[in-house]
Structure 1
C-alpha cells in the first residue's frame, strides 16, 4: 500500500535526465503545496510518505525551488522531519525560513547546524520566537556582533548566566548591544550593575573620536534605563496592586485568605495578589509590603515572615516570583532561606521591635 501510494504521488522514473528538470521543479512545488494544505489531516504514515518523496525531490531541484519548499514547510506544526532538517542545513537562501520559524526542528537539530554553519545561519536562528538556553549559549559563543545584538533584543531568548556575562563583556564597546541588554526583563541585579559599569567615559570618547557621536549618546540612554531598572519603582510599576487588593478583600470576606491561598497565587506567579494576600495576613499596607518584596535585600521580609509564623515552603516559593525572580541571585535566595530557617519566631519578633520602619523602603 505504501509503495503504491508513493508511485501515485510521484513517478520518479519520469524525472530523470535534463528533460525532466522542469517537471522535477513543478512536482516539488506541487507536493510541498499539497502537504502544506493537508498536513493537519495526514496520518503519521502519510507524513512519512510525503517526507520520503520530498526528501528525494529537494535533492533534485535548484535552490529557488528548495526555497519555495522551505517556505511551505516553515510554518507547519507537524511536517516531514527529514526534509525539514535537510532544508535547514541548506544554503541560507533556502534554510532561512525554516531556521526562523519551524517548530518541527528540535533543539538538537538547531545546535548541530549552529555548530557547523556561519553567521548567516546563526542570525536566522536568533530571530526564532523562542530560544532555549542551550541554543543561545552556542549563538553567543559562535555568533558575530549582529547575531549577539539579535539574541539580546529577542524577548523569547532564555539566556544563561554565562551568555549574559559574555554579552555584557561584548557590550563594552557597542552601544546598541548595551541598550538591548538594558531593556531585558530577565537580568539579575548583578548583571544590571555590570551593564552600567561598562558604559564608561572611555568608551564614549572612543566613539566620539571615531565620529560616532550618536552611539555615544545611546550609551547614556542604556545606562539610564539600566539604572532605572535597579529602582524599586521600575519593578513595581508594572503591577496593578489596587485591583489585586480588591480581589483579596473579596476573598477575605468569604474566609478564603490564608497561607494556602498565598502559595496558590505564588505558584501562578501572580505577584500583585501575593503582595495583597501577604499584606492582609500580616496586617500591613499593600504599598509597604510591595517594597519589602522587591528589595535586592530580602532580609526585612524574611524577618517579618518568620515573626508571622509562615512556613519555609511558602517563603521559598515567594522568593522565586515576581521581581525577585530576576533581582535575587541563587546565592542571595539561599542565604535568605538559611536565615529564615535558623531564626526563631521569638528572635524575629525581637528584631521587629527595634525596627525603624522608614528604613524598609
Structure 2
C-alpha cells in the first residue's frame, strides 16, 4: 500500500503552522468518530488506513483531543492497533479508557505498560473486566496498595498462587485488603486459613490493647468458624443451585423425586441436583442442605440421612460426590458409613430435635 493511499483521508500538507492546529483537532475527532461508527464494516486494509492516519494525528493534537480519540477507540472489538497502543502508553488522562476497556490490547501490551508506567496506569489496568494471571502477577509486583486492593476486589482477575500469597502478606497490615480478599470465591482452603490467621491476629492485638483479654481468647474459635464459612462458600460457589432446583421441581411434577433419582444424581456427580433433591425430600432448605454436605465433618448429614430413612447405599454414594470428593479422605468416608450403620432412626431423630432446640433457644 502506497503512502498516498494510506493517508488519503487527510491532506497532512495543509496542517502546518498555527492555522492548522484547530484543523488538526477537528480532523482527529472526525476521523476517530467516523471509524468508531464504521469499524465493524471496514476491511483490514481500511483499518490499516485509519490506523496510519490516526497514529499521525494523535501526535499532532493536545491531550484533550487524544482523550476523545481514546474514548472513541476504547470500546471497539477491532481497531487501529498501533494507534491504540500509542494511546495506552500516553499520560493516564488519555490512556485510562483504553487501559480499562479495550479488548484489542494483548496481555503482552498490558504487561509492557504496567512495567514501564507508574501506579496510575497499573490501577487502570486493574479495573479491566478480565485479567489473566500473567497480568495480575505484574500488577501485584509493580503496583502500590491501591492497585493491589483493586486487583483483589476484581472478580474477573485471575490470581496465581504467588499473587495470592503476596496479597495475603500485604493484608496483614491493611484491613481493606483483608475484606476484599475474604469476598473472593477463588481462594483455596490454605489461602483462607492464612487470611483468617492474619485477620484474627489483628483483631486479637486490638482487643488486648483495649484491655478486653477474655474476648481476645475467643478470637481463635471465631477464626476457625470464619475460615470454615469462607471455605464452604469457596466450594459451594462452583454450583448453580437455583438452576438445579428448577430441574428437580420439574421432576417432582412428574412424581420422579425419590431415592432412585438421588442415587442417579450421585452416580453422575451432579451435586447441585442431589442437594436440591434432598431438600425437597426432607422439606428442607437448599442452602442449609448444601452447607451440611460441604462440611469436612459429615456427621450432621449422617444424622439427617438416618432420620429421613435413606439407605446406606445412597449415603455411601453421596459421601463421594461434589466437594466431598476432595474434602473427605477414604478413612473419613468409611467412618461415616460405619456411623450411619450403628445409628438408629430414633437416635438420629433425637439428635436432630436437640440441634433444632439449640438453634431456636
Instruction: Tell me the TM-score normalised to structure 1 length.
Output: 0.70
Matched residue, 1:55: 55
Runs of at least 5 residues in structure 1 that lack an aligned partner in the other structure: 210-222, 325-331
Q: Which region of structure 1 is more displaced relative to structure 2, 186-195 or 228-237? A: 228-237
Paired position in structure 2 for 1:93: 93
Structural mapping, 1:127-146, within 5 Å = 127-146=127-146
User: What is the distance in 1 between the residues matched to 2:112 and 2:263?
Assistant: 47
Q: 1:7 to 1:141 in 2, by over 3 A?
A: closer
**Does structure 2 retain, via aligned residues, the 8 Å contact 1:241–1:286?**
no
Whether 1:78 and 2:71 are equivalent positions in the alignment is no
Matches within 5 A, 1:206-355: 227-228=225-226, 230-231=228-229, 235=233, 244-245=244-245, 247-251=247-251, 253=254, 257=261, 266=270, 272-277=272-277, 290-296=290-296, 307-308=313-314, 318-319=322-323, 333=326, 339=330, 350=338, 352-354=340-342
Are 2:71 and 2:98, in contact at CA under 8 Å, matched by a contact in 1? Answer: yes
Equivalent residue, structure 1, for 2:66: 66
Structure 2 unpaired stretches of 5+: 211-220, 303-309, 356-361
Q: Distance in 2 between matches of 1:78 and 1:92?
A: 22
Against the structure 1 CA distance between its residues 300 and 85, is the aligned structure 2 distance closer, same or farther, given a 3 Å change threshold? Answer: farther
CA contact (8 A) 2:232 2:294 kept: no
Aligned to 1:171: 171
Q: Give the whole-Å Cα distance in 1 for the aligned partners of 2:267 and 2:313.
A: 18
Higher relative contact order (CA 8 A, sep 6+): 1
Q: CA deviation at 1:15?
A: 2.4
Contact conserved, 1:101 with 1:128, CA < 8 A, in 2?
yes
**TM-score w.r.t. length of structure 2:** 0.70
Q: Report the number of matched residues.
A: 322
The superposition leaves residues 195-253 of structure 1 with CA deviations (integer Å, 9 ceiling, x where unpaired) of 222132489559x99xxxxxxxxxxxxx9899546338974799996985564153263
SS at match of 1:231: helix
For residues 36 and 267 of structure 2, what CA distance do their matches in structure 1 show?
45
Secondary structure class of the residue paired with 2:185: coil
Partner of 1:195: 195
Name the CA distance, whole Å, in 2 between partners of 1:195 and 1:88. 35
- Alpha-carbon distance, 1:339 to partner: 3.6
Give the Cα separation in 2 of the matches to 1:290 and 1:93.
48
CA distance in 2, matches of 1:239, 1:66: 45
Q: How much is the aligned-residue C-alpha RMSD, in angstroms?
A: 4.6
